Amino acid sequence: MKAVFGEIFGNDYAKAIGLLKKNRLEEARRILLKILSEKPEFPDVYIELAKINFKTGETPSTKYYLKKYIQLDGTDEACLLYTSLSPRDRT
């Protein structure tokens, strides 16, 4: 799926990941949201948005993106991030 996704969106996803590595969260978020609006079934965008929201303390959005990611392609990464939320915030 990632190869097909890359062919459709070119370097946008790679650019967003590069921005995340540089801690340029808002710029990465804008790119990821644009990708998401055009390709909502791509799970990796959801996990990256969850990470951004977790770092910025946006718990409701973190939960939303984690749940969407798990619905599409849940992995240990999502579970680990989810357990990092306080028990009160997990519901």
For 26-68, the pLDDT digits (tens) are: 999 999 999 999 889 888 899 899 999 999 999 889 889 988 8
DSSP SS3 for 65? helix
Q: What is the mean pLDDT of residues 6-25?
A: 84
Taking the C-alpha atoms of residue 56 and residue 65, their distance in angstroms, rounded to an integer, is 14
Say what angle helices 12-21 and 43-55 make with each other, to 10 degrees. Answer: 20
Q: pTM for this one?
A: 0.74
**62 and 54 Cβ atoms separated by less than 8 Å:** yes
- The structure tokens listed for 48 are 């990256």
